[in-house]
Structure 1
Amino acid sequence: MTDERAGDDNDEAQRTKKPRSFWRELPILILVALVLSFLLQTFVARVYLIPSESMEPTLHGCNGCTGDRIVVEKIGYRFGDPTAGDVIVFRGPPSWDGDYVSTRSSNVVVRGAQELGSLVGLVAPDENDLVKRVIATGGQTVECCDEQGRVLVDGTPLDEPYITMDFDFVPGTLTCDTPIRSGRCFGPVTVPEGNVWVMGDNRSNSADSRFHVADELQGTIPLDNVIGKAQAIVLPPGRWGLIDDPDIQGQ
């Protein structure tokens, strides 16, 4: 009789036990969400804002317009290197940091909060992250121009349908051989192994590899600086879509 009564008391206690409070579970849920966000942003993909017009019209970042927000996928380049035509996001080498201004507050507390927010993707990282298109890879020689004003890689002209703005090039009048050279002309530059040569789609308004050709890397970007491949535009809604990465070398 005593055992039966004790069992009844236990059953009654279980039935009357209050469910765990939502407010007690909320901090755990938030912590799990932040950890998942950190892992995704660090190893899988992250959203970046396009701050300039150097990739117009492929990516919007023009003065007075809403800059595109793009998804940058980080997994693919763990198993292979960027190829010509890819649009990549990378950390600028030291010579590319001339105009970069830190986005962090001078207030220690606010700066700490910004750094914490950056870890989980709520705040942009405090680094000079840039977006350009890969034109040539390690071991290739890149230059401009052929008789039609096209960029050459290992002597073969590239097919670049995404360019809409470029410096003037007039055969017989304004070329790489005339007294006044076309602004398109550069090189030749042989890309070191483990690096890539990058250029903006808005050729006449992009401080890309051509602009930094006098630095110790000849304007190239080490693969270690590459964050990932730009895959899609996610904001604003009217700009949703995949980012084109044509086979510009025809290989």
Structure 2
Amino acid sequence: MTFKATVLTLYPDMFPGPLGHSLSGRALDKGLWQLETSQIRDFATDKHRSVDDTPAGGGAGMVLRADILAKAIDAAAPDTDPRPRILMSPRGKPFTQEKAHQLASGPGAIIVCGRFEGVDQRVIDARNLEEISIGDYILSGGEIGAFTMLDAIIRLIPGVMGNMESADTESFETGLLEHPHYTRPTEFEGRGIPDVLTSGNHKQIAEWRHDQAERLTAERRPDLWQRYLADSGGQ
């Protein structure tokens, strides 16, 4: 099973963009995952290829029409398509490392990139779109969010990363932020590498890294720290 992403967007030329480089780009070239785009505007019915209209009830901005987006979704993903349907949305559930793992182990995803003021709620309900957010801020459209989400997913697909052990210790994989890293030179502007890391004592190194991860998480992400304490029974 190869992970296949289908992105519905008004700007298909934006893809693969950053996903065509580095790990994800090499994996795309190797066929470890697939990417296709669909131009939502192709499903417009008027001569101006309009895809939006004014919001019901008044207000600023424009809204992506339900009928046009539904046609685009149906063409990209018939009812028999097992892939989840995702709408990049600032009001969606926060995207997490756990969600990245879940999606990476599946057949792929249909990703709708919204624009304008939003998407007509009726198509969200009728086509069972799962709303996902990459953070508490507003972007010009869902494409940047799609890049971020796909990058996090693709690197977890078997064969994409050369050393999966490095992924196992990254931030959020253990419920903690990642410990500090050091490499050569041994001295940089009067700053050295902590002695424990050059001691050769792997047990002490592991303990130091864990302690540092706990310290950083408690300082920088008290929300994660409280969750970590609850999951570990307060130990």
> Do they fold alike, i.e. is TM over 0.5?
no
The answer to which structure has the higher helix fraction is 2
- State TM-score, norm by structure 1: 0.19
Question: Relative contact order (alpha carbons < 8 A, sep ≥ 6): 1 or 2 greater?
Answer: 1
